[in-house]
Amino acid sequence: MRAYLAFLRGAVLVGMVYRLGFLFTALGNVVYMVVAYFLWRSIYVGQTSIHGLTFDQALLYVALGSTVFILLKTFTDWGMAQEIRDGTVAVFLTKPIDYQFYTFFTNLGFPLTSLVTVIAPTVILLVFFFRIHFDFGPGYLFFPLSLTLAFIISFHLDYLIGLTGFYTESIWGISITKEIIVSVLSGMLLPLQFFPAAVQQILAWLPFQAMYFTPLMMVTKPGQNVSVFLVMLGVQAAWTAATFLICRLAYGRAIQVLRVAGG
Amino acid sequence: MTLIHLQDLSKHFKILNRHEGLKGAVRDLFSSDYRMVKAVDGISFDIQAGDIVGYIGPNGAGKSTTIKMMTGILKPTGGTLLVNGLSPYENRIRQAMIMGVVFGQRTQLWWDLPVIESFKILKEVYKIDQKLFDAHLGMFNDLVGLKTLFPQQVRTLSLGQRMLCDITASFLHNPQVVFLDEPTIGLDVSIKAKIRSIILELNRTRNTTIILTTHDLGDVQALCRRIIIIDKGKILYDGEIKRVTALFGAYRTLKLQINDYSDTTLATLRQQLTGQFGAGNGITIAQTEEFWTDVTIDQARARLSDVLGFIMSNFSVADVRIVEITMEDVVRRVYEGALQ
């Protein structure tokens, strides 16, 4: 375990090297949120509530969605594909470490170092410029844990896409496709309440909602009963475990390609 | 003690026959036109603990494939491979603790961080005791003066400095065996000498077994007691370095640019050299690239200065270069039976 904490420490240090990059990411997010503000205001003209969400709730949801996206977007799949393609992966295989855990902790450095720089502008914008009304409740307490689980599920998905690098020389198409599917089906761009009821039923059975919809709802509607949040966390935990197992199985198969066919 | 044992080891790759052009590329998408490549084709040898073994051969000979099997990256197609009594492939993580690896073309250091940070990470990965860690770094510092590099970002290091750090990194956990895959590739003479001395010193003081693959015959001569020559996946020679150096160390190639070169020049040159130095003079003449004539001399049989002097006085020569025998030449000569 100490080894992986050392990787995390290294990753945080690397994160510091690229600190300027975060500022630009945060700046880009501010621009996006301003656009979202006007878009959603026009959607809510003449209405106080759509699909059970007030304008303030919808705006909070969408702004937070794009902010969480920055934290979850680690480019793990791109990094892995690069390592596999140029053969650096061989270096890791000669070390007494687990590739998945190594990849996880080295990619955790970026969201950890950028946590404040990414979240602070969002909060400032929502509180002082958009002046939205915040509901308060136990949801806020569960949010950090929910976000952590969301990060792990998102990582697992990226990791699986990264593993396809063992089979194909370019993961570009696969990665972009995944990106689009996730951004729509996870409720990152649009709260899932806005989807037709039948679609919502299907999405409830997919892992994507656990990446965005679940943590975002904890802050959007934080006043619900604690048991509601516990169920949400339970579902997230189940998806975390399930995707973890799939990752282990997939790695076992993918690595055979390298080991048998050579790199 | 036998540390590494190979018996009839082989590795075959299935390779897609790629076709030319756009049409070919489309065809390849659906192609099942594979051919088998025997990268390593039934090799056997034992390596004793504490040895430095040069594992040499031309490009594509199967050197790296063998190293990758010994380090547990690749799964052998057939045969037996034991490192310290265990199969490296099946016990990857356990075996990784007792071995160090340097791939000359890649780095295990963290590109964006100061050198010392990579070492600190390795300290945790291999669970190296703080005292031991300090002692090792101190020793490396005494050997090559590494300390000045510690605060430098890896990306700002020169290739040679980076290689010194990579080698340090691979020895940090005091492994039983270190695999060095082309450690001196692309480096200049002075840094090569430094790297050779550090390898020798580590082998001497810690009895670390070292397997070295290289293109550079100089590395082998400076470091190894035993060499294994491999080509096309098969072992051509396995034995003492002395026999090989005795045979090839004396060879030099004179590269000449002869004025008024014509079709008959080579024949004339050959005839005149035979006339001057006798029939069994060990001199071979070939034209390997345009405008250049290669005259390879065995210094045990004919003196370089004599041959050069003779040619200069009998031919009009525009340019001369003297080169040491290359790995490809050695392999060719071994094929021709030079070591039999």
pLDDT on residue A114: 86
> How far is residue B116's CA from residue B150's CA, in Å, rounded to a whole number?
5
CA distance A162 to A134: 39
Record: fold of B250-324: Alpha-Beta Plaits (3.30.70)
pLDDT of residue A246: 98
Q: What percent of chain B has pLDDT over 70?
A: 98
Interface contact A261-B112, CB threshold 8 A: no
Contact B57, B217 (CB under 8 A): no
ipTM: 0.87
Confidence of residue B338 (pLDDT cuts 50, 70, 90): low
Number of independent structural domains in chain A: 1
Question: Who among A88, A90, A256 is closest to B68 (CB)?
Answer: A90
Distances (CA, A) of A77 to A95, A150, A179, B140: 21, 17, 11, 37
> CB A96 to CB B113 under 8 A?
no
Residue range B2-9+44-247, CATH number: 3.40.50.300
- C-beta atoms of B72 and A14 within 8 A: no
Asked if B96 lies within 8 A of A94 by C-beta distance, the reply is yes
Closest residue of chain A to B90, computed from CA coordinates: A259
Query: Which helix (H) or strand (E) covers residue B252, if one does?
Result: strand B251-258
Contacting residues of B for A261, CB less than 8 Å apart: 13-14
* A122 touches A29 (CB < 8 A): yes
**pLDDT reading at A12 higher than 70:** yes
On whether any CB of chain A is under 8 Å from the CB of B65, the answer is yes
β-partners of residue B34 are B16
Structure token pair of residue A189: 């761009």
In chain A, which residues have their Cβ closer than 8 Å to the Cβ of B106?
86-88, 90-91
d(CA A211, CA A183): 10
pLDDT over 60 (residue A263): no
Q: Where are chain B's structural domains?
A: 2-9+44-247, 250-324
For A18-64, the pLDDT digits (tens) are: 877 777 888 899 999 999 999 999 999 999 999 999 999 999 999 99
Pairwise CB contact (< 8 Å): A259 & B89: yes
Amino acid making up residue A158: D
What is the reported pTM? 0.86
Domain extent, residue A231, equals 2-261
> Residue B6 in 3-state DSSP?
strand
Task: Answer yes or no: do B73 and A93 touch at CB < 8 A.
Answer: yes
* Contacts with B175 from chain A: Cβ below 8 Å: none
Min Cα separation A5/chain B (Å): 9
**Contact residues on chain A for B123, CB-CB shorter than 8 A:** 6
- Give the pLDDT confidence of B139-160 residue by residue, as tens digits: 888 877 788 889 999 999 999 8
pLDDT at B313: 87
Distance CA A118, CA B1 (A): 58
